[in-house]
Amino acid sequence: MDINDIRGLLTPIVGIILFLGIVKWVYGRKSKRVYEEAANLPFADDDDDTASLQADAADQRKMI
């Protein structure tokens, strides 16, 4: 058994470990909250942001 055989066996083992780690990271309890917040972003109320942008635009027009 030479170094190439070891590399050939080590590569799929490391790949499987990385894959399982990513799956655990994505489906973990901590990530659930982040994904729920991201899923609800299209439904977020933008009235406050729109009002502040309009006020800033009006202030800039007054300066000119």
Q: For residue 48, is pLDDT > 60?
A: no
Structural domain total, the chain: 1
Q: Which residue has the higher pLDDT, 39 or 60?
A: 39
Q: Which residue has the higher pLDDT, 32 or 53?
A: 32
Least Cα distance to 21 among 3, 34, 13, 39 occurs for 13
Q: So what's the pLDDT on residue 49?
A: 57
Tokens 């994505």 found at: 26
Distance CA(26)–CA(20), nearest Å, equals 10
Tokens 């894959």 found at: 19
Give tens-digit pLDDT for 6-39. Answer: 999 999 999 999 999 999 999 988 888 888 888 9
Could you tell me the residue range of the domain that residue 31 belongs to? Answer: 3-63
Distance CA(38)–CA(35), nearest Å, equals 5
Q: So what's the pLDDT on residue 16?
A: 98
